[in-house]
Structure 1
Amino acid sequence: MDQTNDTTAARRVEITARGGLADIKIGGTAIDPGAVKAYSLSHFAGERPEVLLHVADRGDTLWSGMARVAVADLPDPGPAAAVFLEAIDPEALERAALARPDLGTDQNSLTKAMLTQLGEWARGL
């Protein structure tokens, strides 16, 4: 991308998403898919849309241009996990885990089935 001193200049961003993959172009220039590990879009009425790119740790990708940069800590997942787990009905979890077709007979199989079930519920499956 061209560097500019005009901090109000907008760049055209194209994202073509297919399943878990996305092709990203900024100003017509394709971005190496391995250079971005995630992205998010937001748009509030009356404001410009924003694209947040979560850059992967790659030393061979060069970034240039103007950007508004914000550094944030990842939120602690503990409180959200605690709320989720407190809402689980133990009887329903046990029934679901025992009914799983992948329930094994090895040591800790029931625990593994319960953790798998909780993960699926957390993802809305």
Structure 2
Amino acid sequence: MEQTNDAFPARRVDITTRGGQTDIEIDGTRIDPGAIKAYSVSHLAGERPEVLLHVADRNDAQWSGIARIAVADLPDPGPAAGVFLDAIDPEALERAALARPDLGTEPYSLTKAMLTQLGEWARGL
């Protein structure tokens, strides 16, 4: 049985993605892509799906209508970064950095290669 709430009518949301480009429409009205920096979709059984839009700059964004709004601070990445770095094998990092095809000969090139390697590992590459 679908739950309805007449105070907050359901809205039609269309999200179309092509490569890195995303178009979002709400009830047929296109949202400026520059106004949105991220979005998430969630759906719990027996409830309406929810779309959370993260606006890029609240000063320039103009919105009208009814919405449930959630404001949250971004989590501190420090603890997760610490756990990630604690799991790195220094020997494996050095081997991977020295084997990189983009390893240069200028000062700090090994440090740069290690940071690039760590970034790729963090992204699962």
TM-score by length of 1: 0.91
5+ residue gaps, structure 1: 1-5
Q: Which amino acid aligns with 1:16?
A: T
Partners in 2 of 1:87 and 1:67 — Cα distance? 42
1:61 Cα shift? 3.9
Show the counterpart of 1:105: 105
Which residue matches 1:85? 85
Query: How many residue pairs align between the two structures?
Result: 121
Q: Secondary structure at the match of 2:93?
A: helix
In structure 2, stretches of 5+ residues that fail to align are 1-5
Q: How does 1:31-42 map to 2 (within 5 A)?
A: 31-42=31-42
- The residue aligned with 1:122 is 122
Change (3 A) 1:96 1:19: same
Deviations 1:75-110 (A, max 9, x none): 000011011111111111100000000000111100
Higher RCO (CA 8 Å, separation ≥ 6 residues): 1
Q: Which amino acid aligns with 2:66?
A: M
- How far apart, CA to CA, are the structure 1 residues paired with 2:123 and 2:84? 11
- For residues 26 and 8 of structure 1, the distance between their equivalents in structure 2, rounded to whole angstroms, comes to 14
Summarize the alignment of residues 43-82 of structure 1 with structure 2, pairs less than 5 Å apart. Answer: 43-57=43-57, 59-82=59-82
Structure 2 matches for 1:10-25, cutoff 5 A? 10-25=10-25
Alpha-carbon distance in 2 for matches of 1:118, 1:50: 35
Distance 1:97 1:113 in 2: 5
Percent pairwise identity: 81
What's 1:3 paired with? none
1:28-86 CA distance string (max 9 Å, x none) = 11001111111111112222111110101164442100011111111000011011111
Q: Which runs of 4+ in 1 moved over 2 A?
A: 58-61
Contact 1:13 1:26 survives alignment (8 Å):
yes
- Is the contact between residue 14 and residue 25 of structure 1 (CA under 8 Å) also seen in structure 2? yes
